[in-house]
Amino acid sequence: MENTTKDKCRNCGEKISVYKNQSAKVDHSKEDAKWNQYGGWVCSRSCDYNACVTMESSFPGAGVTKTPGQSSMRKIKENWGE
């Protein structure tokens, strides 16, 4: 029986397998995938970072954002370490 769900990195589209216990691994690298601040899996710290920047840049009145906001940074550090 299939015990994983196929998903993909919200930033780069890398294939990710999601397990029933809500952990996830990147198919290609076998590294752990992490849950992004704004929802969706990400395959690496840089994808996590870029997904936050892309999302926050789309907020009304945000202008051009180059670094994630404080709560996003907190989540990124929680996901990948300092």
Q: Which residues bind Zn ion (CB under 5 A)?
A: 9, 11-12, 14, 43, 47
Rounded least distance, CB 26 to Zn ion, Å: 8
Residue placing its CB nearer to Zn ion in the complex, 43 or 52? 43
Residue 32, SS3 per DSSP: strand
Nearest residue (CB) to Zn ion, 18 versus 63: 18
* CA 54, 19, 27, 45 torsion-angle sign: positive
Helix axes 45-57, 70-80, angle to 10 degrees: 160
Nearer to Zn ion, 27 or 63 (CB): 27
CB of 40 to Zn ion, least distance (A): 10
| In the complex, least distance from residue 32 CB atom to Zn ion, rounded to whole angstroms | 13
- Count of CA atoms in the C-beta half-sphere (13 A) of 19: 10
